[in-house]
Structure 1
Amino acid sequence: MEDKQMIVNGFNRVSAALFAVLLLSWTVPQAAQAQYPWGNGPGPGEVVVGQTGGGAGHAPILLCQYVGGGESGDNPNESPFRAPTKHYEPQKAGFMAAAYHIDTSSVWMSAGHKTMEAAKQRALAGCKAGTGAECYVADTLSEFGLIYVAEDAMGLLWIKAMTTLDDTTQKNATASRTVVDWNPSIELCSRNAFGCKFLGYTQTGRMPLNDNPDAQYVSDSFPNGPLTWNRWALVARPEKTPIAAWQNKSWLSSGQQKSAAARAELLARCQADAGVPCAIIAFAANGVLVQFVDAQGKVGWTSAVPNAAKPKRKTKKSLVSDDTSVAARIARACPSAAAPCRVVATYDAGTSRLDVVADVP
């Protein structure tokens, strides 16, 4: 199995000039109009009757209606429709980015930037300062929205951004998913891993539409304290049939914290022994690698976390099981036509080793 990738596509920016002009050129409503935009909420004698949809990098605007009775001296003969007396300053979303390093269970987020490149570089710099290694951008936002973070049973993070949706769009999006308590990071995790749980989210930063070029609106969400480093177990096999002495073998590495170094060392050892290129076929972080054999004698590998607590969330049967035990993971990995499968051996990720393992049960 190849190392998982968590980099996902960012959202395209859409121009909002027309909407901004509309807000900045507000005039007194006519008597036939019952609603007007009000960015700071209702005042005395007014009620909220709805809101605009927002989007395109702008926050939704409240629609207020004057009903009277909120201030002493209200004139009952005064027109109930009047221009708002409060000032609303249109806002736009700052650019936001989230960075990660595969060897840690941490994420670095930075919001409120004036360019996407600045947001990316800030998040990457924070990650590199914390890990001492090169990091990667997980996702970005250029509109109002949230970046969600989920964690699987092995401690790997799954990061996904989503722009702010109005109620109808949100309901339709949720109804089209297979998770009852849907959010994009849980969906991403559930389709690629197991034992997923939601950790939280960070909102896009805001700034005035006509911001001061010298002003800064940046806010960072970086890890505090020591980082948690993953321990890896990897299995490789030859991509082509090797010489007879190395057939029916797997190469196993475990106990290392630096996945790139462990991967390079394992593939080099496998290729040197077998005389042909090799590939990673399975891995585990902070759990165990399980070697199993099916009823037809074919050996396979999967990952499991025997002692992990089962996340408390509702799922439908089409999703990856939240049961992280060895038995449950073997049952899922075992081909139905070749069931039942049985465990041959388990190898924990925390023990240091670089071995050749026989694939003959």
Structure 2
Amino acid sequence: MSRSTDPGHFFQTDASESTRARRAAKSGNKNGNPIVLQSKILSVTPDPFSPACIYIAESAGCVRRVNIETRDSKTVYRGPTAPVTSVAVGGHGGSTIFAGCWDKDIWTWNRESRSLGKKFKGHSDFVKVVIAGKVEGKDILISGGADSKIIVWDSTTGERLHTLRDKSDNMMAVQDLALDPVESTVAELVLVSSSSDPHIRRWRISLSSAAQIFDSVQEESTQNKVTRDTILEHETSVYQISFSGEEDDVDLWTASADGTAKCLSRARNWSAEDSYQHGDYVRAVAVTDDWVITAGRDEDVKVWDRATGKLWHTYEGHYEEVTGLVVLEDGRKVISVSIDGTVRTWGLGRADLEKARKEREEESKGVVKDEKVPEKKSLLTAEEEAELAELMDSGDE
């Protein structure tokens, strides 16, 4: 017997019905020139071979390449029957697409032919993030899962090289991974991980060994040197981490469920130098020379003046949680992706932002009329929708 996916066929509380009605009304807007797809977008990564393209991971069980300029989205990598949670481009010459999946496996495809490659098996729960790297000339893949494991793989053979876990075994579901471009060398990588607990951990990885890094830092109150196991600058889950800067002046940027995005200063032993109060769970943060962009559960894309730390403009358009941001065109545009199945483009030039401010003022006065975008039906059953929501919020407090 077939199962309905229409939320209207299930019991709805007043609050959920109100939210559904609000989102249905909001879905009519065309802010950000949306590219409308048919399933939830769970993550995004830039295409290293094209400044106009991105790769997205979809709940429909596929990876899709989207050209922002031509709006072409027909290049699709298929195979999984469960939601794809993350995507990376790597392998020899960037020839491979890697995708973490809800089915606990990592799927691979040839980037050009889209033919399926080998599957990497080793996680015992959802694979939440995958990133590619290179050590001593060998291409590697690093994955993090809801099973609290970080696994280092030979990306060519699929051989498992290392499995990392916090020494205290207190690390919760891994949320994100990033490679430190300053401390990493040809012979070893310095990896940073975030998870569903508030702690950020650092790891040193070579082909022969891998271990957690424990820093010796000076306490401000006592001036004594103490060993620090983790970086603790947030109150709860840290969803995203990324490095931004030039040469040795590269800091760590974070997005957290505590409602903030922060810049953790390398020069200050990874203590918070700047904090941006987004207000709700922050799923993503992106940085340019002039702006800091944050987005998350409240559906808005907020642009902050990096020089003053003040909110400059709020882009409104998404009608469900924003799951990722990518800066394109040398910082002139930011791309946002969402659970609502849309890819939207927002200007970051001063003229673009001033125009957006003016349009928002006019819209608030009823000058601008929204055009309806057909509301999409989910490809997931109600039970799968609930499970996916649990995956997205795993470990949140």
Bin for the TM-score computed over the shorter chain: under 0.3
TM-score, normalised to structure 2's length? 0.22
TM-score, normalised to structure 1's length? 0.23
Higher strand residue share: 2
Higher helix residue share: 1
